[in-house]
Amino acid sequence: MSSPPILEIEKLSFSYGGPLILEDVSLAMAPGEFLGLVGPNGGGKSTLLKLVLGLLEPRSGSLRVFGRPPRQGRSRIGYVPQYSGFDRDFPICVEKVVLQGRLDGRLRPGRFGAEDRRAAAEAMEGTQVTDLRRARIGELSGGQLQRVLLARALAGRPKLLMLDEPTANIDSRVEGDIFDLLRRLGERMGILVVSHDLGFISRYVTRVACLSRTLVCHETSAVGSEILEKLYGPGMRLIDHGSHLDPRETP
């Protein structure tokens, strides 16, 4: 008997009071699946993540996280925001940032127990930032900070990891390192990653969810120029790096 979906969305629609941002969206995500979520700016990707986290309520349709409403199931989700929106001037060290991943409504900052510190230490070791634990976040490179934010999400020992543009403004070498780490993490949890770089993530993900108000899922190998034009409009081209598709805007 197959395992139930860790994320199940059925005919979901949402608006901020005006035109629909999401319309009739359906998606089921299996345990251990590595899913890429792509689409144009304003297509609803970040809004969908907020709905999964229970920060927004759908206008219609249903959404279940580990078989529960989002606010009840989100304790099993680790979330990594775009690091570009993170205040790097805040005077806090890496270890304390990672410990924030243990906050679940029961604890207040500063009241962490031995198990919390153990989970944070494991997360820092797994993301290779243990040697930075005393460093201020303002001292970190972009790649180091992204690993710290990933460690914070992992400290809660999630079963679903969601990442919003995890490698934006990070050089290609670091990008590859982070996705190699995500591939290893995918052996023990589901991963949902938002990205604009379809060509790059196609090396890692098992399926691609294409979102531009409505959503359609494809096997990675099925994504071609016709699908890209529906998502991003005309003027797109594909660069074939071996067996991988890489969309780029036409100059």
Q: Which CATH number fits the domain that encloses residue 216?
A: 3.40.50.300
Asked if residue 92 belongs to a domain, the reply is no
Residue 159: count of CB within 10 angstroms of its CB: 18
Distance CA 200, CA 87 (A): 28
Asked if residue 94 belongs to a domain, the reply is no
Name the percent of the chain lying above pLDDT 90: 55
Q: Which token pair is 151?
A: 């460690």
pLDDT score for 90: 83
Residue 246 clears pLDDT 50, i.e. is over it: no
Domains held by the chain: number: 1
pLDDT score for 242: 38
Name the percent of the chain lying above pLDDT 70: 82
Q: What's the residue count for the chain?
A: 251
Residue 96 clears pLDDT 60, i.e. is over it: yes
Structural domain boundaries enclosing 79: 7-87+160-249
Distance CA 109, CA 100 (A): 7
Distance CA 201, CA 79 (A): 18
Cβ pair 169, 175 in contact under 8 A:
no
| In the block, residue with structure tokens 């979906």 | 5
Residue 116 clears pLDDT 60, i.e. is over it: yes
Q: Each residue of 193-224: pLDDT tens digit?
A: 998 777 777 788 989 998 999 998 877 655 55
Q: Each residue of 128-171: pLDDT tens digit?
A: 999 999 999 989 988 899 899 999 999 999 999 999 988 777 77
Q: Which token pair is 230?
A: 């529906």
Asked if residue 212 belongs to a domain, the reply is yes
pLDDT score for 147: 92
Burial 199-212 (b: 16+ CB within 10 A, else e): bbbbbbbebbbbbb
Distance CA 131, CA 125 (A): 9
| 3-state class (DSSP) for residue 93 | strand
DSSP string, 128-168: T-GGGTTSBGGGS-HHHHHHHHHHHHHTT--SEEEEESTTT
Asked if residue 39 belongs to a domain, the reply is yes
pLDDT score for 8: 97
Asked if residue 155 belongs to a domain, the reply is no
Q: Which residues are registered as beta bridge partners of 214?
A: 212
pLDDT score for 106: 61
Asked if residue 125 belongs to a domain, the reply is no
Strands 20-29 and 190-194: unpaired
Q: Which token pair is 6?
A: 């860790």
Q: Which residues are registered as beta bridge partners of 115?
A: none
pLDDT score for 42: 86
Asked if residue 98 belongs to a domain, the reply is no
Asked if residue 26 belongs to a domain, the reply is yes
Residue 1 clears pLDDT 60, i.e. is over it: no
